[in-house]
Amino acid sequence: MSSCSTTTIMAEDDGGRTAITAVHPDIIQTLILTKLDGPTLMSASFASLQLQNLCSDDELWRKFCNSSWPSTSDPLIKNAVAAFPSGHRSLFSDSFPSLIHNEPKPIAGNNSKQYFQSPELISAVDIHFEGNLLYSKVLTNETESGWFMSSPFRIELLGHKEIVPTPVKFDGEDGNRKLELQKMKLSWILIDPSRNRAVNVSSLNPVSVQRHWLTGELKVRYSTVMGSGAGAGAGFVQCGIVVTCEGKEGGELHVRDVSMQIEDMDGKVLCGKDSLVILQEVIEGGRKKRKENEEKENYENFLELKKKWKENKQKKEKKLDMMCMASGITILISFWSLIVFGSRSNGSYFS
């Protein structure tokens, strides 16, 4: 009786329309919330206390995560996400938005152990083409050995001689193949099991598609630009993911290699120690709504900054070389002057 009267009052107050609070929770959860996408569901959870409770169902968010990133259905990811504060909802909140690109800031002591304490780093990678899944994989990388800390940080996705077929034909103009590969989307989620946090370090859409001048391979690049205070060359860095495609005339292009690494303004690949510091910063950093072409613009700005950085560095090195040359000439003149004056002094003495 009270339920009916509540519905009537809500309907009258709402101009004859049934309020959402009058609908049975099971109907909302099974017939309404499941039709929403992740960002809309997140917004709906702030509309009312009832919707907040309904939207907090982990099974609902698990389906969203598995649909967006099939790799998250892997048992390894399930076990890691089970420890997250809000389960799959936390995973979605960490991985769906883009990163806030903070200005570089110095890191006291540059000690990666102070920031990254997990013995491993988990990657969940998914590659789609025109909405269809091409490849999905979960892999782990240890982060404690001396070899990892001192070696260049690079994660290889594919195994030895492993290839991934694509629907892109090798026939036709090179420009057409590049346009087709622009439709390839890639997600690379990194999970820190010790802090129960995750981050998507991919731009999702390619920022460039280039043909290698020698091998003819097509390099599809995904990039996320980040501020860094790590290492000697503190500044902006880019987390670059490169998908290498090749094929034969008349056949289809296939993916031969997928790798991820972090590069500084000099183009140098950072070591594991410095990379962990940067990754911990972005994992715990802010998030914001993704904007179309934003990551591509950030990448192009990074390349421009990188060019100016190189020019300034060359100017400084040239100036230093000139100073060293001037100092050398001054020392040489002084040396010969001492010899000449010394010879004259000795001649005057004997005469």
pLDDT 10s digits, 196-233? 999 999 999 999 999 888 888 999 999 999 876 554 44
Determine the average pLDDT of the residues in 61-71: 93
Closest CA to 150 of 269, 264, 238, 240: 269
Q: Is 82 helix (H, G, I), strand (E, B) or coil?
A: coil
Average pLDDT over residues 178-183: 89
121: pLDDT confidence band, cut at 50, 70 and 90? very high
Report the alpha-carbon distance of residue 30 to residue 37 in Å, rounded.
Answer: 14
pLDDT value, residue 334: 80
| Residue 2 binned pLDDT confidence (cut-offs 50, 70, 90) | very low
Q: With 50 as the cut, is the pLDDT of residue 58 above it? A: yes
Give the model's confidence band at 29: pLDDT under 50 very low, under 70 low, under 90 confident, else very high: confident
Q: How many residues make up the chain in this entry?
A: 351
Phi, psi dihedral angles at 71 (to 5 degrees): -65, -25
Which range of 79-83, 107-111, 344-348 scores highest in mean pLDDT? It is 79-83
Confidence band, pLDDT 50/70/90 cuts, at residue 18:
low
Quote helix, strand, coil % in the chain, to nearest 5. 45, 25, 30
Q: Which residue has the tokens 């998030």?
A: 287
pTM equals 0.81
Q: Does pLDDT of 276 surpass 60?
A: yes
Average pLDDT over residues 91-116: 65
Query: 53-72 in b/e burial notation, b at 16+ Cβ within 10 A?
Result: ebbeebebbbebbbebbbbb
pLDDT of residue 226: 87
Tokens encoding 272: 């594991």
pLDDT at 201: 95
pLDDT tens string 291-322: 888 888 989 989 898 888 777 777 777 778 78
